[in-house]
Amino acid sequence: MEKYWNKEIECASRAKMKKLQDERLVAQVKHVYENVKYYRDLMDKKGVKPEDIKGTEDLHKLPFLSKADLREAYPYGLLAKPLSECVRIHSTSGTTGKRVVAFYTQNDVDMWDECCARAITAAGGTEDDVVQVAYGYGLFTGGMGLHGGSHKVGCLTLPMSSGNTERQIQFMQDLEATILCCTPSYAAYIGETIHDMGLSPDDLKLKAGIFGAEPWTEEMRRSIEKSLGIKAFDIYGLTESSGPGVAFECSEQSGMHINEDNFIPEIIDPDTGEVLPEGEVGELVFTSITKEAFPLLRYRTRDLCVLSRKKCSCGRTLIKMAKPMGRSDDMMIIRGVNVFPSQIETVLIEQGYSPNYLIEVDRVNNTDTLDISVEMNPDKFSDKVKDVQKEERALAGAMKDMLGINPKVHLVSPKSIARSEGKAVRVIDRRKLHD
């Protein structure tokens, strides 16, 4: 039986949710206009007044906010409450440039905890569970976010933070953790280490994992589920809109329900800014309608995905977002072809390789080069040059079928590629150095 943390909201009728969103949006636009000069100027420039926004159908009239705006307004330019009412700060991991800071009032923290509590409950968590939080703690939102949600549900919470993997596994075993929360790349690393320590999933009590903060493929999900003996759930969020928990997966494991009572999603064409109909791929945009201290309206996430209102077997009526394919800035254009790291990951796992790889892009004599280093399977390990070359050619062929361009594949020895305890760095693009 599906369990809900807040059934009234999670399974609300469309009409009820729309009414709630309308009321909250109208109040939020007023709050922002009155308290955030930076956004007021943007609205004035566009000729929009708070009175023009009567409901979600008017959302498209508002100006967008982008990461560039956040950097320009750094640190206090988008703050909508006096600092004396703020209780916390978090910051982005800085994956794609200068860090951005976000502020939280106590109500903002409570709302965030609520979102994560819904995610933990959807993954089967109750007060009887032991939740091991192996996301990094600190400015990064992963650790504190799931920690807050786990407390709220009443789970026994292990604030492990990331790293120290063997100790992590020791605690998992001794304290009988049932739910693991971390990045998918760290989950894969933990699974590998469990195996290396001579343990198997049967030696653990884990039943579920809540993994997010970076893109991961369905193939990666299956591989983690197998190595840890669990059901793996996706969770999405970003610092700018609080942290993990903006959207979470349910038992159906086919996309994440967005906490629409707090965040209104839109999908836009990243080039024209035009709102796209449901079902089309585009850039995800969020308007946070309940946040007090750092309430971003129409924030462009740069994450590419699809929204769907298709009925979900879990009974939730919250709109779903598909797994993000990556950020628009993760996409590499190589010899004129669009390539996502996730496509490469899919091929690797399908071909029986581990998800440990490094993509290097460069430009030599005005031609783009794509080199993919992949670890050899320990059980297929060979030091015969001929065997290795044959495997490399086969893998390069499978990559070409998926990507449309021919990469150079290098099989390297097992465990020679650095493992990630947080967000994995999988791409090095040296072309930027030549510009």
Q: Is residue 177 a contact partner of residue 131, using CB atoms and an 8 Å limit?
A: yes
β-pair partners for 358:
373
Q: Is 145 in the site for ligand ADP (CB under 6 A)?
A: no
Contact pick of 22, 252, 387, 429 for Zn ion (by CB under 5 A): 252
Q: Pairing mode, if any, of strands 179-182 and 208-212?
A: parallel
Contact letters (x/-) for ligand ADP, 304-333, by CB under 6 A? -------------------xx--x------
Helices 218-228 and 341-350 cross at an angle (nearest 10°) of: 50
From ligand ADP, Zn ion, none, interface partner of 93 (C-beta below 5 to 8 A by class): ligand ADP
Tokens of 158: 């292990």
From ligand ADP, Zn ion, none, interface partner of 65 (C-beta below 5 to 8 A by class): none
Task: Write the CA distances from 388 to 331, 398, 409, 429, integer angstroms.
Answer: 29, 16, 10, 26
Residue 92 or 168 having the CB closest to ligand ADP: 92
Q: Is 16 exposed, middle or buried (0-12, 13-18, 19+ CB in 10 A)?
A: middle
Q: Is 29 in the site for Zn ion (CB under 5 A)?
A: no
Contact pick of 21, 56, 92, 121 for ligand ADP (by CB under 6 A): 92
- Of 316, 274, 264, 321, residue with least CA distance to 18: 264
CA-based torsion, 126, 131, 137, 143: positive or negative: negative
Residues in contact with ligand ADP, total (CB under 6 A)? 20
The count of other CB atoms within 10 Å of the CB of residue 76 is 10
- The minimum distance between CB 339 and ligand ADP, in angstroms, equals 17
Contact pick of 69, 192, 261, 303 for ligand ADP (by CB under 6 A): 303
Contact pick of 55, 82, 94, 138 for ligand ADP (by CB under 6 A): 94
- The minimum distance between CB 119 and ligand ADP, in angstroms, equals 11
Binders of Zn ion in range 284-313 (CB under 5 A): 312
- The minimum distance between CB 395 and ligand ADP, in angstroms, equals 25
User: HEC states along 95-156?
Assistant: CCCCCCEEEEEHHHHHHHHHHHHHHHHHCCCCCCCEEEECCCCCCCHHHHHHHHHHHHHCCE
Contact pick of 41, 95, 138, 310 for ligand ADP (by CB under 6 A): 95
Binders of Zn ion in range 396-435 (CB under 5 A): none
Residues lying near ligand ADP in the complex (CB under 6 A) are found at: 92-96, 212-215, 234-239, 301, 303, 323-324, 327
